[in-house]
Amino acid sequence: MAEAGRSRGAAFLEMVRRLHERHLLEVPDVRELWLIRHADAYGGLETLGDGPLDPPLSERGREQAARLAARLRPVALHAIWSSDLRRARETAAAVAAGRDLEVRLDARLREVRTDWDEGREARVVPPGTYPFPEPAEAVVGRMRAVMEEIVADLAGVPDDPARAAVVTHNAAIAIYVSSLLGLGWGQLGVLPYFTSVTVVAVAGGRFVVRSIADATHLSAAD
């Protein structure tokens, strides 16, 4: 009976090990991508210039960025990447403050190109219909390319896990994460809120979504 119990226990623990391995938990050589939506840049926005939307952070956005930075302060980061748009750059600068890390800017991390960026008001489309002039496949392609570059850049980091903060945009995150989960447009059902953190683990060429759009730092007491 005791031998049977030990055998059953060993089988159960092996099942847990395989489950963790499948989700890249408690395995070596993992890289983590912490995808962060920029802080608010729209509160009080009354006018729009020509060209791509590129407003600075609002007063509320600066407070959100400060809360994000406080949350990440005890977290070991080995790289910080950002979209080259101002709202992302300013959010990344808050995260980088006090760290010996240079923010690396990359236009591939920009928000999905919208009608507003092209000088038109957003078109009205039926619910569930993809609304952007930039095809989802193009967004996924550029996001995958830059994520793979970031992972490759972390290869020389001895810490395990090596971790990069990547400041980007709402729809870009949603479309990229949906592609990792095998979901089409509108199926994710989650809005990455301002300064929310979505964690993707990477090992052996596999990209696994750990968490999506966590913004609990915004509800923390002062």
Whether 19 is in a domain gets the answer no
Report the number of distinct structural domains present in the chain: 1
* Mean local confidence (pLDDT), 64-93: 97
pTM for the model stands at 0.90
Whether 9 is in a domain gets the answer no
Please classify residue 173 by burial: count the beta carbons closer than 10 Å to its beta carbon, then call 0-12 exposed, 13-18 middle and 19+ buried: buried
d(CA 124, CA 161): 44
Query: Residues 26-39: pLDDT tens digits?
Result: 787 899 999 999 99
Whether 3 is in a domain gets the answer no
Whether 4 is in a domain gets the answer no
Instruction: Give the H or E element holding residue 35.
Output: strand 31-37
d(CA 83, CA 167): 6
Can you give the residue range of the structural domain that contains 84? 29-218
- Tell me the CATH number at 173: 3.40.50.1240
d(CA 219, CA 24): 29
Whether 65 is in a domain gets the answer yes
Whether 140 is in a domain gets the answer yes
